[in-house]
Structure 1
């Protein structure tokens, strides 16, 4: 990957000096995963930081024989940095929701990068705070209706990782159970709300290409505020 491409795709590197960028490109590894392939196993956290060049992944907890999707991430995001900086996660893995292309940097080199470039160090702190702010907002949704929870989840995925289309956005057609987990609603509620939103002209799907279209973001935002 060229220097300009990595800067445009990953905000973390937008503040890096030219020397840091050249060094990153010399030590980073390219990885490919197929849909449903395990990217990080439970005991592999803390070994590297992974940057999503293309595709979608889910961060999944499995404890007491129960699996729950904690987060869905897409192009331009990254994961594993917190476990390099702090204690590794337990009972959590990462699965490819689609074919995925990653850039990965080992834990040792990631820490070297932070020491090399104070601007990158500062940026990673900003992005970490943003993650915690997002988590806090999810807790704020706890008392909201299931429809608000799901709509705001879809809007967040579209804004962060979606591809713009006329009047809306295109995202991966994420399995309903995974969407339900992230939105903290039941599978039945998720399926009923999606059906309702399709009838209202806000969603369309293309199963052959595994795509979900948010065809009216303005209306979805209106629903999220008015329900």
Structure 2
């Protein structure tokens, strides 16, 4: 379920959404001071803005691959070398300008990192055609209390030398693609750490500006 709560002196207005039935309902809940159980619950008219936010979250959830966590894998193909057989399940990337790049290159060279993040940003939006900006704004009205059900897109990138890294777009917390450095591994599955002491390279936007601030309540799906 999705929910939102607005408090007033006497009533608490609660929105409850159900993804299974595609329904969103608004309730007015009244409690006495210090009382846990409500003494009155009434249906209220649903705000069209909240209803629109709910349907946008439904669209994100239903866009293939269906679910809150969307993940796929890419394999950067180097024409000069053969890719290992075990990577055949990953989607081949034939147009990457620097096909011989490795995870070490990406971690140590800010330019390589920025290029990969920008490429992945475009690839995510092409393969998962959902409006990320609208989804973020919708989360300004409705949220889930279960972080496991927060909208996230992950891409596992296999490089031609067998190394790999995962990129993450956490729609609820940031409009930017980032590389998960803790996921960087070489061909022998050993952790690869950046040799640079500097911080993260410039971030890349995938959607419009931040959503407007609003009164939020967590929701259970």
Q: Normalising by structure 2, report the TM-score.
A: 0.24
* Larger relative helix fraction: 1
Which has the larger Rg?
2
Higher relative contact order (CA 8 A, sep 6+): 2
